[in-house]
């Protein structure tokens, strides 16, 4: 892989970086020198603080503290203390968010919790274009509930809203579409869902950390999300789950385990669920991975999400402006909404030969990704990116398309992970 050098950077672009009030955040991350990293919507880079954090966790807390660290280092309560910190980034008051398990497991728990709050209702509504794990899990939930059906936007009706009625128990919806980057209006959709008496479950995987999410203010019921994308907490780092406090007394979930027990160290024979957010826990959590999350949150939690959002929109807007002519010339479709109110923090381009285009860009030090069958994705993080990187990425994209260099057969050879 060569480094991204690109053309001379215009003074206007350099001035935008010089005036950027969030520019100091870049120094908190390790991004390989010269690389333009546009895959934060798949895996965020390492915060520099992670190296000391893991050293402490392994050498001091585990190696020296051993079992005492469950108490002395606060291991047992990390799911809640970190959950409250993350909650502040997604507009959730304390006591409503825990960090635990994977997104898939938390989707399962959230859907089951939603069904428990609306017994007797017979449909779950979701998007046909949802991230596949959400649909796979929803199919599994429906299979375990005879009489409950899964209805999909794009299959059973054109619009999600047209599927929501008095039979709807739960609506599972992505805040930002993982392919197109389109952003849903959370508050508006929640009003429709609640008017029908249903429960809203929001997938925040592609919005947490870059969109000014306001779960409480928008009236969300349940939400799930990952921490390894725009929250930069490490590959496969634990996910999170949110439940509005108004539901905690009544909801239940079937993965009953000792960490979700009201008194886990009483070692009672029967299960008695915790009365708060811990009822959404199940078994023992991966402590070293949880320790890494602290470094990811610390890298952005001292700045306003509204400021991160504003920079994100400026970057995606600039990129679309710079590649628009190239896309038009070569018959490519910009999938991401132009209206800033309707997009997340990525720019997606539809192109059947998108995979070799991404490989040609990676060789030039511009790292994006591809999602089958035809989506080229570029994720923009306002924390570790500046406008110079946006410009260099756009110029490289235009050069790859205009030169046709992506047609080299070596770029068409596919790896397992795209």
* The pLDDT value given to residue 71: 97
Q: Whose CA is closest to 134, among 211, 222, 210?
A: 222
Residues of the chain with pLDDT under 70: 1-7
Catalytic residue among 179, 229, 291, 343: 229
Catalytic residue among 228, 378, 391, 411: 228
pLDDT, tens digit (0-9, with 9 covering 90-100), for 353-364? 999 999 999 999
* The pLDDT value given to residue 7: 54
Q: Does residue 148 have a cis peptide bond before it, meaning omega lies within 30 degrees of 0?
A: no
- 8 A C-beta contact, residue 25 and residue 300: yes
First to last CA, the chain: 16
pLDDT, tens digit (0-9, with 9 covering 90-100), for 148-183? 999 999 999 999 999 999 999 999 999 999 999 999
Active site residue 265: no
Catalytic residue among 134, 177, 203, 374: 203
Active site residue 377: yes
Residue 29 pairs with which residues in a beta bridge? 47
* The 3-state secondary structure of the chain, one letter per residue: CCCCCCCCCCHHHHHHHHCCCCHHHHHHEECCCCCEECCCCCCCCEECHHHHHHHHHHHHHHCCCHHHHHHHCCCCCHHHHHHHHHHHHCCCCCCCEEECCCHHHHHHHHHHHHHHHCCCCCEEEEECCCCHHHHHHHHHHHHCCCCCEEEEECCCECCHHHHCCCCEEEEEEECECCCCCEECCHHHHHHHHHHCCCEEEEECCCCCCCCCCCHHHHCCCEEEECCCCCCCCCCCCCCEEEECHHHCCCCCCCCCCHHHECCHHHCCCCCCECCCHHHHCCCCCCHHHHHHHHHHHHCCCCCCHHHHHHHHHHHHHHHHHHHHHHHHHCCCEECCCCCHHHECCEEEEECCCHHHHHHHHHHCCEECEEECCCEEEEECCCCCCCHHHHHHHHHHHHHHHHHCHHHCHHHHCCCCCC
Kindly list the domain boundaries of the chain, sorted by start residue: 11-47+304-412, 76-298
Topology of domain 11-47+304-412, per CATH?
Answer: 3.90.1150
Active site residue 131: yes
Catalytic residue among 37, 108, 131, 230: 131
Active site residue 378: no
Active site residue 191: no
* The pLDDT value given to residue 418: 76
Catalytic residue among 291, 309, 377, 392: 377
Q: Which CATH architecture has domain 76-298?
A: 3-Layer(aba) Sandwich (3.40)
Q: Whose CA is closest to 182, among 106, 222, 127?
A: 127
Q: Whose CA is closest to 104, among 128, 142, 136?
A: 136
- Cα torsion 64, 231, 367, 42: sign: positive
What angle in degrees, to the nearest 10, is found between the helix axes of 287-298 and 78-89? 30
Token pair of 186 as six digits: 């959370």
């Amino acid at each position: 892989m060569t480094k991204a050098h690109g053309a001379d950077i215009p003074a206007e672009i350099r001035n935008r970086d010089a005036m950027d009030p969030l520019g100091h955040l870049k120094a908190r991350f390790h991004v390989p020198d010269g690389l333009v990293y546009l895959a934060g919507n798949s895996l965020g880079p390492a915060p520099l603080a992670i190296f000391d954090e893991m050293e402490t966790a392994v050498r001091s807390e585990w190696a020296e503290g051993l079992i005492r660290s469950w108490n002395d280092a606060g291991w047992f309560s990390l799911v809640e203390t970190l959950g409250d910190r993350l909650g502040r980034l997604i507009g959730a008051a304390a006591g409503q968010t825990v960090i635990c398990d994977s997104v898939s497991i938390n989707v399962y728990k959230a859907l089951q919790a939603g069904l428990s709050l609306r017994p007797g209702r017979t449909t779950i509504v979701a998007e046909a274009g949802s991230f596949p794990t959400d649909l796979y899990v929803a199919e599994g939930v429906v299979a375990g509930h005879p009489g409950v059906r899964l209805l999909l936007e794009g299959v059973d009706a054109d619009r999600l809203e047209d599927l929501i009625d008095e039979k709807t128990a739960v609506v599972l919806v992505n805040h930002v579409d993982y392919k197109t980057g389109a952003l849903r209006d959370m508050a508006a959709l929640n009003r429709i869902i609640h008017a029908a008496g249903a429960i809203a479950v929001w997938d925040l995987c592609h919005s947490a950390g870059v969109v000014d999410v306001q779960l409480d203010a928008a009236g969300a019921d349940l939400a799930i999300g990952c921490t390894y994308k725009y929250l930069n907490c490490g590959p496969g780092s634990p996910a999170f789950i949110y439940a509005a406090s108004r539901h905690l007394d009544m909801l239940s979930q079937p993965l009953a385990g000792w960490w979700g027990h009201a008194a886990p160290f009483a070692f009672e024979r029967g299960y008695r669920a915790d009365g708060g957010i811990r009822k959404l826990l199940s078994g023992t959590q991966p402590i070293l991975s949880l320790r890494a999350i602290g470094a990811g949150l610390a890298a952005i939690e001292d700045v306003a999400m509204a400021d991160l959002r504003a920079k994100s929109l400026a970057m995606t807007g600039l990129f679309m402006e710079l590649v628009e002519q190239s896309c038009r010339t070569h018959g490519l479709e910009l999938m991401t909404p132009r209206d800033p109110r309707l997009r997340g923090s990525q720019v997606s381009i539809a192109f059947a030969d998108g995979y070799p285009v991404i490989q040609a860009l990676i060789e030039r030090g511009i790292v994006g990704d591809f999602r089958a069958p035809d989506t080229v994705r570029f994720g923009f993080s306002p924390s570790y990116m500046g406008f110079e990187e946006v410009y260099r990425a756009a110029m490289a994209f235009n050069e790859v398309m205009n030169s046709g260099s992506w047609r080299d057969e070596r770029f068409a050879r596919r790896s397992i992970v795209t």
